[in-house]
Amino acid sequence: MKPKFFLAIILSLIVSCSPKKHNDLFADEITGNASKLTMDFYSINEDSTKITPQQKFVFTFNTDGNIKQQIVSINRNGLFVIAEKTIFIYNSDGKKICAKHSLQSNPYLTYYYNTNGKMSEIKSFNDTTGSLLYTTSIISINSNIEYFKQYLPNKKLIGITKYISKGDFVTNVLHYDSYGKLIGHDNFNYSNGLLQSRNDYQDETKKISFKHSNFDKNGNYLTTIGYSNGKPFQVEKRTIEYY
């Protein structure tokens, strides 16, 4: 079971093109004109007596509410060390066209759009060699259902993610393997888009749920506790700065 902070690792791919999003702030469950988001993740030991810092994510946003930069840091012997820095590049129309790691000249993500201006494809690369790793095709069935299908360069399907929306918010995300078998299910609150639970059908002994609290003046949560089978296993603390 991947913890919730795994979502932040792939923020550059998923929230940038999730259905029903207005911008990256909306997709990351933030209302208001935020300029910076810091997410600190802590693990909780088995008997809930110790909380240990694990990872830190810092996102900065432009005035359109889209991500400019992402910095990932990890805890090494009590000190946070930057593990990855990503810069996002936009065209003159304000559309995200690629993402680059700060020390690489090649992009590791490139974004493509259809004639209606809607994102239709994402290509992922090895930014050292420039070789294509996989392609994600985005297929809209209707206003409430979209599929993200990932293919290797040889066109072999490696996975499918199905997004189901209601109104402005994604309510369910279903994960399938290359054979079409359901392997995971994320459930979101339909009224505010907040993650409520995660089921990993490859490890059905774990039932993961999330509780959000400590909301700021704009209604954005600042604390989330993750529970596994009713026991807390992680804490997320957010600090949000606004323009």
- Give the per-residue pLDDT at 8: 40
Strand, helix or coil for residue 169: strand
Kindly list the structural domains of the chain, giving each domain's residue range(s) and its CATH number in brackets, ordered by start: 5-242 (2.40.160)
- Give the per-residue pLDDT at 226: 94
Give the tens place of pLDDT for each residue, 118-174.
999 999 999 999 999 999 999 999 889 999 999 999 999 999 999 999 888 889 999
Which stretches of the chain score pLDDT less than 50? Answer: 1-17
Q: Is 189 exposed, middle or buried (0-12, 13-18, 19+ CB in 10 A)?
A: middle
In eight-state DSSP terms, residue 134 is: E
Degrees to nearest 5, angle at CA 166 with 225 and 201: 50
Q: Contact 69/88 with Cβ under 8 angstroms?
A: yes
CA 55 – CA 232 distance, rounded (Å): 17
- Give the per-residue pLDDT at 14: 43
Report DSSP letters for 194-227, one per residue.
-EEEEEETTSTT--EEEEEEEE-TTS-EEEEEEE
Measured in Å, how far apart are the chain's first and last C-alpha atoms? 36
| Dihedral pair phi/psi, residue 22, rounded to 5° | -95, -40
Q: Which residues pair with 239 in a beta bridge?
A: 38
- Give the per-residue pLDDT at 18: 52
Strand, helix or coil for residue 6: helix
- Give the per-residue pLDDT at 22: 62
pTM of the model: 0.85
Residue 148 structure tokens = 């993200």
**In this structure, which amino acid lies at residue 221?**
Y
Q: Contact 168/174 with Cβ under 8 angstroms?
A: no
- Give the per-residue pLDDT at 1: 35
